Amino acid sequence: MPSYRAPVDDTLFLLNDVLQLQRYGNLKGFADVSPDVTGQILAEAGKLCEEAFAPLNQSGDATGCKRGADGSVTAPAGFKAAYQAYAGGGWISLPVPEEYGGQGLPYTLSMAMNEFASSANMAFAMYPGLTQGALAALLTHGSEEQKKLYAPKMAEGRWSGTMNLTEPQCGTDLGLLTTKAVPRGDGTYSITGQKIFISAGEHDLAENIVHFVLARAEGAPAGVKGISLFIVPKIVPGADGSLGARNGVSCGSIEEKMGIHGNATCVMNYDGAQGFLIGEENRGLNAMFVMMNEARLGVAVQGLAQSEVAYQNALAYAKERLQGRALTGPKYPDKKADPIIVHPDIRRMLLEIKAFNEAARGLALAAALDSDVAHRSGDPAARQAAEDRLGLMTPVLKGMLTDVGFENAVKAQQVFGGHGYIREWGMEQFVRDARIAMIYEGANGIQALDLVGRKLPREGGRAIMAFFKESAELLGAHGANEAMKPYVVPAQSALGDLQKASMWLMQNAMAKPDNAGAASYDYMHLLGRVALALMWVRIAAAAMEKKAREPETAALMDAKLVTARFYMERMLPETALRLARIVAGADTMMSLAPEMF
């Protein structure tokens, strides 16, 4: 059976020493979390994930969710108690403002919990995760009355949330959606249509489910300009929050799928269900984007989370499994063979995963911190800068963390040899579960297009120009320090590749959109690799300082420095490959007619 230890110490190092959370004490909710309190919160989060959620991961995968003849859905055994522990522990309400029943603490801490919970049990963590995304959309775009009615119950976990975009004929292209919303004359709407692939669409964990549904109001324009967002509760509440009548929404079936079997992926049928408009008619996509952006970061972290738990198990296996001898002669002559961790190729795989995980965690936490600044800072310039960074980095993190997260789950499986293919070890489940994160919440190709087509050109390229400026400042601040050169010099060179790629796009994409489309995936990964390198520069600088200040941490900090060097020497050179592909342009790719494939 696989095991899991939440990386609490590593997360605390990132929060306290690298991102220096204590500098943000002026943000609402941050003054309450001293490093000690943060430590206690994360230790508690880690314990819950290790003890309550991880033990249900394999059993939930084996049994999956069951749909009864009446359309009710039962989550795997143990999920209900686990959900109550999650909600009861205040983990959903943690970042929600106090006036809506929350604790008003930093979202950054939620991000850490999301990672731990997704490593422990990704299918389970999606139930509260979707509720958090739905809450974000409600709090940004809902009316005061809607917020007061729904938010406290959702923050408590008594009511869960879903997002309903996809229909059989409408996936990426939301303009094709046909679910109808007809005014009832009392300010509410009748919603009719079918949604597919709806995560946590029906289950027995919460007493009510609040569906956030995209639909087209009668007479609305075609395409994305005619989409509105509705709240459609499974049970319609009275104004006082008491549960009323069952609404006309039901689960038609549960999708049979490759992984995350513990999460009910439902076909949802809306049959004249009562819906309540959020925001204005035809502005639904705008409101849903809040939820989607939140969810994209959540999905990014799912990639990291599967990479982390797969790594931990591969590392333990590599230290125990005896096969062959070290190339330089036996390292453990008293044993029949050496543990496989002596082999350079095993180390390559382990270090590639480790070097990714530790910096990717830093990027995910930094993005969450930007979200906190964007929502809570009193300084408009700081808010704007954080929003720009977050907008730029969200598609990059979604695309890169889930692509590499999946590759890493496969790599960790490889460390197990044939045993990685055998169900009992749990490695094949990590591979199956990690795979979906590349697809949903906007397939990764769409993230790349969002980055190149929308995020880069926005406001005359303000976000990417700020990224270049901040990167140059970071590298400049450490460039004169001899000890930092092994990190700063390669990062500088990779940043140069990114600048060249950005310049090429500016010169070649406007007149010829296929050049942008053909370059987008490599550009997303190129930017991601540079961001990881810059995070490693920050980690290396923090590690050197910490080692000097607290000599007892020397071994841990030295491991960080070696891992940073590994990243720079063996992983970062990928930026040159990405640049070469980008500047190759679209001509060859687009010249093959469909019938010539």
Ligand X SMILES: Cc1cc2nc3c(=O)[nH]c(=O)nc-3n(C[C@H](O)[C@H](O)[C@H](O)COP(=O)(O)OP(=O)(O)OC[C@H]3O[C@@H](n4cnc5c(N)ncnc54)[C@H](O)[C@@H]3O)c2cc1C
Report how many helices (DSSP H) and strands (DSSP E) the chain contains, helices first: 17, 11
Taking the complex as a whole, how short is the minimal distance between the CB of residue 126 and ligand X, in angstroms?
8
Contact string 397-416 vs ligand X (x = CB under 6 A): --------------------
Residue 197 or 425 having the CB closest to ligand X: 197
Q: Give the DSSP per-residue string, 496-532.
A: HHHHHHHHHHHHHTSS-HHHHHHHHHHHHHHHHHHHH
C-alpha span between 22 and 32 (Å, rounded): 10
Judged by CB under 6 A, the stretch of 80-88, 271-279, 445-453, 506-514 that binds ligand X is: 445-453
Q: Is 575 in the site for ligand X (CB under 6 A)?
A: no
Contact string 190-229 vs ligand X (x = CB under 6 A): -------xxx------------------------------
Hey, which residues between 156 and 175 contact ligand X (CB under 6 A)?
163-166, 171-172
Judged by CB under 6 A, the stretch of 281-289, 347-355, 440-448, 582-590 that binds ligand X is: 440-448
Structure tokens given for 17: 């020493």
C-beta atoms surrounding 446 within 10 Å: 18
Hey, which residues between 233 and 272 contact ligand X (CB under 6 A)?
257, 265
Residue 197 or 487 having the CB closest to ligand X: 197
Residue 4 or 440 having the CB closest to ligand X: 440
Taking the complex as a whole, how short is the minimal distance between the CB of residue 199 and ligand X, in angstroms?
3
Taking the complex as a whole, how short is the minimal distance between the CB of residue 88 and ligand X, in angstroms?
24
Q: Give the DSSP per-residue string, 211-250.
A: EEEEEEETTPPSGGGG-EEEEEESEEEPTTS-EEEEPSEE
C-alpha span between 54 and 58 (Å, rounded): 8
Judged by CB under 6 A, the stretch of 269-277, 343-351, 358-366, 441-449 that binds ligand X is: 441-449
Residue 60 or 171 having the CB closest to ligand X: 171
Residue 197 or 270 having the CB closest to ligand X: 197
C-alpha span between 449 and 457 (Å, rounded): 12
Opening angle at CA 579, ends 573 and 580, nearest 5: 100
Q: What percent helix, strand, coil does the chain show, rounded to 5? A: 65, 10, 25
Q: Is 453 in the site for ligand X (CB under 6 A)?
A: no
Residue 160 or 307 having the CB closest to ligand X: 160
Residue 197 or 536 having the CB closest to ligand X: 197
Task: Go through 538-577 and write b for each residue having 16 or more CB atoms within 10 A of its CB, e for each that does not.
Answer: bbbbbbbebbeeeeebeeebeebbebbbbbbeebbebbee
C-beta atoms surrounding 448 within 10 Å: 26
Residues in the chain: 597
Structure tokens given for 59: 């059993």
Residue 52 or 251 having the CB closest to ligand X: 251
Reported in sequence order, the residue ranges of 71-207 that DSSP labels E, i.e. its strands, are 73-74, 159-164, 180-183, 189-199
Hey, which residues between 359 and 388 contact ligand X (CB under 6 A)?
none
Sign of the Cα pseudo-torsion (486, 491, 492, 496, in order): positive
Taking the complex as a whole, how short is the minimal distance between the CB of residue 483 and ligand X, in angstroms?
44
Taking the complex as a whole, how short is the minimal distance between the CB of residue 448 and ligand X, in angstroms?
9
Taking the complex as a whole, how short is the minimal distance between the CB of residue 237 and ligand X, in angstroms?
22
Taking the complex as a whole, how short is the minimal distance between the CB of residue 436 and ligand X, in angstroms?
5
C-alpha span between 247 and 270 (Å, rounded): 9
Residue 197 or 406 having the CB closest to ligand X: 197
Residue where the block lists tokens 């059989």: 168
Residue 277 or 446 having the CB closest to ligand X: 446
Contact string 107-126 vs ligand X (x = CB under 6 A): --------------------
For ligand X, which residue of 71, 90, 252, 445 counts as binding (CB under 6 A)?
A: 445
Hey, which residues between 59 and 88 contact ligand X (CB under 6 A)?
none
The residue number with the shortest CB distance to ligand X is 171
Q: Of 447, 453, 444, 458, which Cα lies nearest the Cα of 388?
A: 458
Taking the complex as a whole, how short is the minimal distance between the CB of residue 340 and ligand X, in angstroms?
34
- Is 441 an annotated catalytic residue? yes
Q: Is 436 in the site for ligand X (CB under 6 A)?
A: yes
Q: Are 87 and 158 in contact (CB under 8 A)?
A: yes
C-alpha span between 306 and 435 (Å, rounded): 10
Taking the complex as a whole, how short is the minimal distance between the CB of residue 165 and ligand X, in angstroms?
3
Taking the complex as a whole, how short is the minimal distance between the CB of residue 132 and ligand X, in angstroms?
13
Taking the complex as a whole, how short is the minimal distance between the CB of residue 230 and ligand X, in angstroms?
14
Task: Go through 500-534 and write b for each residue having 16 or more CB atoms within 10 A of its CB, e for each that does not.
Answer: bbbebbeebbeeeeebbbbbbbbbbbbbbbbbbbb
Please state the three-class secondary structure of 298-325 as a single string.
Answer: HHHHHHHHHHHHHHHHHHHHHHHCECCC
C-alpha span between 10 and 13 (Å, rounded): 5
Close Cβ partners of 254 (under 8 Å, ≥ 6 residues apart)? 64, 65, 66, 67, 73, 264, 265, 266, 267
For ligand X, which residue of 443, 556, 576, 583 counts as binding (CB under 6 A)?
A: 443
Q: Is 440 in the site for ligand X (CB under 6 A)?
A: yes
Q: Are 552 and 484 in contact (CB under 8 A)?
A: no
Judged by CB under 6 A, the stretch of 19-27, 148-156, 392-400, 435-443 that binds ligand X is: 435-443
Reported in sequence order, the residue ranges of 120-173 that DSSP labels E, i.e. its strands, are 159-164
Q: Is 442 in the site for ligand X (CB under 6 A)?
A: yes
Sign of the Cα pseudo-torsion (187, 242, 202, 210, in order): positive
The count of residues interacting with ligand X (CB under 6 A) is: 20
Residue 97 or 133 having the CB closest to ligand X: 133
Judged by CB under 6 A, the stretch of 136-144, 221-229, 443-451, 523-531 that binds ligand X is: 443-451
**Of 218, 294, 441, 574, which residue is the catalytic one?**
441
Active-site positions read 441
Residues that bind ligand X (CB under 6 A): 163-166, 171-172, 197-199, 257, 265, 436, 439-443, 445-446, 449
